[in-house]
Amino acid sequence: MAIKGKRIIIKQTIREDLENIKCLWNNVEVMKWVGFPAGIDQNINDLKEWWEKIQQNEKTHHFVVYTNCCLY
């Protein structure tokens, strides 16, 4: 399921999104605004494990938001 607008897409996170999440969560310029001034320092294996745990619980979901510069 995805919600699509002219400038954004909001969709449930899939495995292919993990690399983008890794870049975001490790970006100190972004993460300082949400309480992590040094980033979260996640590697792709950590994120895969995190995502797999989410997939195992039908009541837990994670979503990504892409702007028009990132739409695929």
The secondary structure of 45-58 as a DSSP string is: HHHHHHHHHHHH-T
| Location of structure tokens 């979901």 | 61
Q: Can you give the pLDDT of all 72 residues of the chain as single tens digits?
A: 789 998 899 999 999 999 999 999 999 999 999 999 999 999 999 999 999 999 999 999 999 999 876 554
pTM for this model (two decimals): 0.82
